[in-house]
Amino acid sequence: MLTRKQFIASTAAVAATTALPAARAAAKKKFKLAWTVYVGWMPWPWAADTGIVKKWADKYGIEIDVVEVADYSTSINQYTAGGFDALTITNMDTLAVPAVGGIDSTSIITGDYSNGNDAVILKGKTKFADIKGQKVNIVQYSVSQYLLARGLQKHGMTERDVRLVNTSDADMAAAYLTPAVTAVVTWNPIVQQIMQNKTAHEVFTSAQIPGEILDLCIVRTDVLKAHPEFAKALAGAWYETLGIMLSDTAAGKAARTAMAKLSGTDLAGFDAQVKTTHLFAKPATAASFTRSAKLIETMQYVRKFLFANGLMGQGAPSPDVVGISFPNGKILGNPKNVKFRYTSEFMQMAATKTL
């Protein structure tokens, strides 16, 4: 099951953590990347298993451990507490947890965006407007709630027009089968499972907000500054792997089959999830997107959503408390408290083959 969506509502436990001491960061030669099961992150364990990560690490004289963490929220907490140097994470969760918790992170790879993996589903109704007045089963404070908020916004409504029922992702498909549940917001493969019911109708999906639910690879900024070779190795391994995985070849099929098995599905199920995931296959495209005005617009939506839901820190007076910087020098929020940085540097190096 996709675990990347399980958002952490409370950052109190990690807010007091501090960045790796500069001396420790400078002395490092061995690094750890944490990943959790999600279609857009399965290239990492496959690249580790096949030696691609080691090949790129060897090029820069370092070691990289690619470590699976069973629970997405745990991976974020462990990264924020200093247990990992790099992490697979969404854009929203990067801002809400490590950034709000005071940990300065840099997104070095814009990997993909959800392009239909997330959906609002109504039972027996075919229009989004029919959601008004309904109870909506949802994993609260997740990207599902962000998707719902954007759908409501686009249809002239707010969350006051519905009643949210917090429901575990593990229980969502079963809950849909009960008479009391008439509206759900969830993600693949749960969406695929629910949509097998003739009563189910997708009325809004992440394909209608392209480029907003992003999956990233972030690195602790102090580690990145001390060891840019770590980011270079990660970028090199990532794009070599995507080149194989997405190719229409026997090698590509074999790679996707292995990734499917690692994520608990089969090739058909994995390929179906790939189709609703916009993977930035070419580093030049990923770099261009990261430099675009679209990304700044998206992060405006994200930070306003987090603030409206009380997730920008206890007592935060506005969404400006944490700064977010972009490759063009633009900063959203407090320029004296930048804790979330986007860079296109390493994706551009991959594009120009200068890694």
| Residue percentage of the chain with pLDDT more than 70 | 92
Residue 279 has a pLDDT of: 97
pLDDT tens-digit series, residues 22-31 = 555 667 799 9
Confidence (pLDDT) at 23: 55
- Comparing 13 with 153, the larger pLDDT belongs to 153
Q: For 271-325, how does the pLDDT look when each residue is reduced to its tens digit (9 = 90+)?
A: 999 999 999 999 999 999 999 999 999 999 999 999 998 999 888 999 999 999 9
Kindly indicate the confidence band of residue 21, based on its pLDDT and cuts at 50, 70 and 90: low
**Run of H or E residues at 243:** helix 228-245
Name the residue ranges covered by the structural domains of the chain: 12-113+212-351, 118-208
pLDDT beyond 70 at 49: yes
The answer to whether 187 and 118 are in contact (CB under 8 A) is yes
d(CA 203, CA 136): 13
What confidence score (pLDDT) does residue 268 get? 95
Q: Does domain 12-113+212-351 have CATH number 3.40.190.10?
A: yes
Q: Could you read off the pLDDT of 67-107 as tens digits, one per residue?
A: 999 888 889 999 999 999 999 999 999 999 999 999 999 99
pLDDT band at 170 (very low <50, low <70, confident <90, very high): confident
- The domain at 118-208 falls in which architecture? 3-Layer(aba) Sandwich (3.40)
Is pTM beyond 0.85 here? yes
| Residue in 236, 144, 232 with CA at minimum distance from that of residue 188 | 144
pLDDT of residue 286: 98
- What gap in Å lies between CA 93 and CA 317, rounded to an integer? 20
pLDDT at 135: 98
**What is the DSSP code (8-state) at residue 268?**
H
> Is residue 178 exposed (0-12), middle (13-18) or buried (19+ Cβ within 10 Å)?
exposed
